[in-house]
Every structure is written in C-alpha cells, then in structure tokens.
Amino acid sequence: MENQALIKEQLVKHIKGGQAFAPIDTVLDNMPYKKIGIVPDGLPYSFYQLFYHIRFAQSDILGYCLDDGYQPPNWPDDYWPEKTVSENEDEWHRLMNVYFDEREEFCDLLLSDDTQLMAPFKSNESHNMLRQAELIIEHSAYHTGQLYIIYRLLNG
C-alpha cells in the first residue's frame, strides 16, 4: 500500500508539471492576453485554442473517471474551439481557473485512499486510474510544449 501512495504522489508531481517538462503555470502567467488569439504563421491554432483543448481533454478524462455512464464528446469538434480567442479577459481567467480546479480535483481523486491505481473501470475493464493519469500527463506535456513554442514565436 505504501508503494501505491508513493506512485500516486509521483504521478501528481508529473500532472502539475516541472518534473520532465516546464509547468503550464509559467507560460500561462507570462503570455500577454492581447496575444492569446494570434495564430502564428504555419500553425493551425492560437495559444487560446491550444489551452482550451488541454483543459477540455483534462475535463473529459476527469468526467470519464467519475461517471460510470460516461458518454464521450464528439471528436474533434468538441475538443477544439472555433474561435481563436476568448470573449474577454475575464473569460480567459475563468478558463484558467477551471483548468486548475479540475486538475486539483483529478489529483485529489488520484490521491484518495479509495482509489486503486490498477483497479479496472466498470465502463471499460482495460482502463484504470493509472492509465488515465498517464493520459493527462502525456497530453498536457505534449501540448504545453506547443504553448511554449507559440509563446516564443509571439514574444520572440
């Protein structure tokens, strides 16, 4: 049981970033709002669209973990916003707050004494919490790197 707790703690460290990749917090804090809607030449999305996608996917994974009757959103339409920027700066800050709140909710679920990393989900016995945590880590790390690229392109 102690090993599982240590593994859970390590997974949370990776989810929050700063282990093998730069934390998302830093790039979000440093990106000027006036630039989040710019689509750099040759790229298919803006900083806003990419962050929206990261948050939506994390929320989807959390929902999957919490709901035995989970129904997936439509891919790719629901995962990527059509608009390149938020309606206003307040909406942008709400999006970030929701992301961090949901990330914390997932981490709390992961760290719960009731959560067994390898216990199969009722909805899909080949899925478990370890797999879902790895999905969040991999997906967030991959796209956080892209956020940093967009940040550097726009703030050179």
Residues 6+ apart with CB under 8 A from 18: none
> What range defines the domain where residue 113 resides?
2-155
The total number of structural domains in the chain stands at 1
- In the three-class reduction of DSSP (H, G, I as helix; E, B as strand; rest coil), residue 37 is classed as coil
**Is pLDDT above 80 for 1?**
no
**Is pLDDT above 90 for 73?**
yes
Separation CA 115–CA 102 (nearest Å):
17
With 0.75 as the threshold, say if the pTM is over it.
Answer: yes
**Is pLDDT above 60 for 124?**
yes
Tokens linked to 79: 């995962």
CATH of the domain at 47: 1.20.120.450
pLDDT (0 to 100) of residue 156: 80
Model confidence at 21, pLDDT cuts 50, 70, 90, reads confident
